Chain A
Amino acid sequence: MNQKQAKIFTFIFMMICSLLLSLFIYFCIYQKEHYEWEEWFMYQDVFKKLAQQNHEVDTIYLGDSRLKTIVKPKTHELNLALPNASPIESYFILKRYLKNQSKVKQIVLSFAPYHLIQTRAFFNRSIIYNFLSKKELDLVFQKSLELKDPHFDKYRYYKTKYLPNSYFTKVKTLIFSPKSKQTAAFKTLLYKNKGQTYFGKQKGSSELCDETTIKNMPHSPTIKYFLKLIIQLCKDNNIKVVYYTAPLNQTSCRALGSQFFKNHSDYLSKLPLNLLESSYCWPDKYFGDSSHLYIGADLAQQELRKQIQ
């Protein structure tokens, strides 16, 4: 090749790289239905419920996957819990819901201690799933800046949202094992169970839950701020708020130690919340995976319903 051909080579190389990378990023960000996993459909399901104008709902369940597993909503109830959701997502869900609805009488909140401490899920789910609007995201970042919360930074946001490695695992899975049939079946089941779903279906699990990896970390001030916002929002709309902590398996409880639960109780007791009585630790046999109930889900639902009625 001569200089001219080498120049052509370089030019074409740059053009193709730019084009292919742009196309890939566009596909990842805006064509999620083609490659995303089950959790994304749960977020879409919540979007759908928020858009539906159901004026008959009086009880809303807000929280993370542990609550989503437990509650099979009855008439006039809505399970808007989401996997990996923290009070940040739940606040915006409630705010969007209350914009058009006014008959809600009670909110049941439930977050795993993990989601009051860790912010990874905010980036790995809310950001990747485009769950929050620009205005909502601005509020989160502004507040975290004010509260000097080191976990929320804009650089991490851009990195998560626009760098292709955040999406590649899922796209790779799509290429090597397409699973459109499973996805369709999952969507049908989710619709049939009104938003309730199981995350693990083992007959007992003695694996350690996520909290064991972060047991000595402090609570996120930003998450605490949004938890308080939920309480305030309920107060403004005359809604009763109760808080329920879903159980952990016995093995994880042992690994976490009593101090961890004491810290968690202290954290919650300082908030203006009605805390429901619940045992933090249940036998391993009730769990379908490290963090979620399976066989014990119905039992937990009964216990929860007894207290909120």
Chain B
Amino acid sequence: MLFNSYYFIFVFLPISFALYHLAKQNKSFKVAKFFLLLSSWYFYAYLEPKYLILLIVSILFNYKLAKLLLKNKNPNILFIGVGAHLLTLVYFKYFNFFIDTIQQISGLSISSSNIVLPLAISFFTFQQIAYLVDVYQNKVHSQNLLDYSLFVSFFAQLIAGPIVHHKDIIPQFALSRSFSWLKIQSALIFFSIGLFKKVIVADTLAQFVDPAFLAASQSYPITFVESWGAVCAYSLQIYFDFSAYSDMAVGLALLFQIDLIHNFNRPYQATNIKEFWRRWHISLSLFLKNYLYIPLGGNRISRFRTKLNLIITMGLGGLWHGSQWTFVLWGLLHGLYLLIYESIFRVTTIKIPRLFATIFTFFLVSIAWVLFRSPDLHTAITMYQGLFTLNGIELDYRSIEAFSLHYPLIQARNTPLPYFSFYQMYCLIVLLFVLYFCPCTKDIVDYIKIQEKPLLWSILISILFVFSIVCLEQQHQFIYFRF
């Protein structure tokens, strides 16, 4: 079930909301939580019925191991737990990737199996590993099966995060709080803005991104203007798509009076790559830092090890996104950016103007997105050829007409790609400015909350919501659903 579907918005959500709050008011908090758990499992099963068993078994297994660890801090138990989770992840997510890689290297013909990736496996595996490690490190002192199951399964964050930490969520499920209208109000604003970002902005941008990458995958010589148009559009699309999902998840959790971590904080306003990672997919960055980079030794051992740890963390972070070399390379490229930043820019005394630094960071991030978006290395190379003018800078003849450009270097050609009209280019530039100057959704919600104008804001937000609902022509999956 997608957050941006009519069934979710008009059937599933109102029923789960009503059941939870009615049970909480009339019966008990435990019953309410039980309803929420059932709703979450239904939500998961609606997408992947057969993998619900895997989710439940994984929860029970981890809970049991954590129980043993609470009694006896035996490292073998931790090893078994983490190993089992990683093996499951490797089997479902990376098995075919390994087989394909062995085939490519050795030239042997090994038949790969038809393994379907269970939804959200990367998210719930990471959350459960973190929980087990924290139990071992004495950061958890007691546990409850219902609260724990809800922490892993809660539908608002189950499919594509944010990767919530048990210390932030389980206490909220453990304590019954009084109903807050302020949270409901924030929930509606978060959800409406998220829906708008997904339906109106991200899905529209996809129309310019998908054909370009498809063309590149079919070795179509994609040109400078086409490739930069597509890459800029993708940089915007992935931000609007993923931050939309996160906004909607935060909003949905607030409907159940639960606060989730905010995953984005104006990432494209970052002035360097390190700052970008503090603002982009914050929950993943925190997880990688706390459960990979620091356990590897962080920056405490030696300069060389610091650099190596950084590269390993980013490479594995890339691999976490998907079982393709393009993801690994994307992670490694970001690792390289971070290394260069740490080695050169951080120690230099030269002050770079803020706007220039932001544009340069956006440029670096966009270059890396090519690897993230490309289905294979061949596509990425074709796109890079376009980006660095190796395929010329010819424009679609319609673009020439629209721009009235007669620059001798630019030649018209008849291309199957959707062209960027003047109006669309203008929209793209406006969006970039919006991203530079505009506050993030959390800031907007905070601003509305301090304003004493409920009528005005409710009208504006409801119009935003209705407009998005009406525009839901086709329900496109969120990009992060496949991770």
Q: Which residues of A contact B (CB under 8 A)?
A: 1-10, 12-13, 16-17, 20-21, 24, 159, 163-165, 168-169, 171-172
Contact B473 A21 (CB under 8 A): no
Contact A10 B465 (CB under 8 A): no
Residues of A within 8 A of B182 (CB): 1-3, 6
Q: Which residues of B contact A (CB under 8 A)?
A: 6, 180-182, 184-185, 188, 448-452, 454-455, 457-459, 461-463, 465-466, 469-474
Contact A10 B185 (CB under 8 A): yes
- Of all chain B residues, which has the CB nearest A166? B473
A12 to B465 alpha-carbon distance, docked (Å): 13
Contact A17 B462 (CB under 8 A): yes
Q: Choose one: B185, B461, B466; the contact of A21 (CB below 8 Å).
A: B466
Contact A20 B454 (CB under 8 A): no
A286 to B365 alpha-carbon distance, docked (Å): 53
Contact B181 A6 (CB under 8 A): yes
16 other contacts beyond A6-B185, A165-B473, with CB at 8 A cut-off? A1-B185, A3-B180, A5-B454, A6-B454, A7-B181, A8-B454, A12-B455, A12-B458, A13-B458, A16-B462, A20-B466, A164-B470, A164-B472, A165-B472, A165-B474, A168-B472
B6 to chain A, nearest CB (A): 5
| 24 sample A-B contacts, Cβ–Cβ < 8 Å, listed by A number | A1-B449, A1-B451, A3-B182, A6-B181, A6-B184, A12-B454, A12-B458, A12-B462, A13-B458, A16-B459, A16-B462, A16-B466, A17-B465, A20-B462, A20-B463, A24-B466, A24-B470, A164-B472, A165-B472, A165-B473, A168-B470, A168-B471, A168-B473, A171-B470
Highest count of chain B CB atoms <10 Å: which of A8, A13, A24, A159? A13
Residues of B within 8 A of A7 (CB): 181
A1 to B455 alpha-carbon distance, docked (Å): 11
Residues of A within 8 A of B6 (CB): 159, 163, 165
Contact B455 A8 (CB under 8 A): yes
Residues of A within 8 A of B449 (CB): 1
Residues of B within 8 A of A169 (CB): 473
- Of all chain A residues, which has the CB nearest B183? A6
A294 to B76 alpha-carbon distance, docked (Å): 78
A24 to B458 alpha-carbon distance, docked (Å): 19
A151 to chain B, nearest CB (A): 20
Residues of B within 8 A of A8 (CB): 454-455, 458
- Of all chain A residues, which has the CB nearest B466? A20
A3 to B181 alpha-carbon distance, docked (Å): 6
Highest count of chain A CB atoms <10 Å: which of B6, B450, B457, B470? B470
A2 to B462 alpha-carbon distance, docked (Å): 20
Highest count of chain A CB atoms <10 Å: which of B188, B454, B463, B474? B454
Contact A9 B473 (CB under 8 A): no
- With contacts A13-B188, A21-B466 known, is A5 near B459, CB below 8 A? no
A24 to B466 alpha-carbon distance, docked (Å): 10
Highest count of chain A CB atoms <10 Å: which of B185, B188, B457, B458? B458
A173 to chain B, nearest CB (A): 12
- Of all chain B residues, which has the CB nearest A172? B471
A5 to B462 alpha-carbon distance, docked (Å): 16
A159 to chain B, nearest CB (A): 8
A20 to B472 alpha-carbon distance, docked (Å): 15
A101 to chain B, nearest CB (A): 41
A165 to B469 alpha-carbon distance, docked (Å): 8
Residues of B within 8 A of A171 (CB): 470
5 closest Cβ pairs, A-B complex: A16-B462, A6-B181, A12-B458, A6-B185, A9-B454
Residues of B within 8 A of A20 (CB): 462-463, 466
A112 to chain B, nearest CB (A): 26
A248 to B23 alpha-carbon distance, docked (Å): 62
A7 to B182 alpha-carbon distance, docked (Å): 7
A23 to chain B, nearest CB (A): 9
- Of all chain A residues, which has the CB nearest B180? A3
Residues of A within 8 A of B450 (CB): 1
Residues of A within 8 A of B458 (CB): 8-10, 12-13, 16
Residues of A within 8 A of B451 (CB): 1
A4 to B470 alpha-carbon distance, docked (Å): 30
Contact B452 A10 (CB under 8 A): no
A7 to B179 alpha-carbon distance, docked (Å): 11
Contact B454 A1 (CB under 8 A): yes
A21 to B467 alpha-carbon distance, docked (Å): 9
A9 to B461 alpha-carbon distance, docked (Å): 10
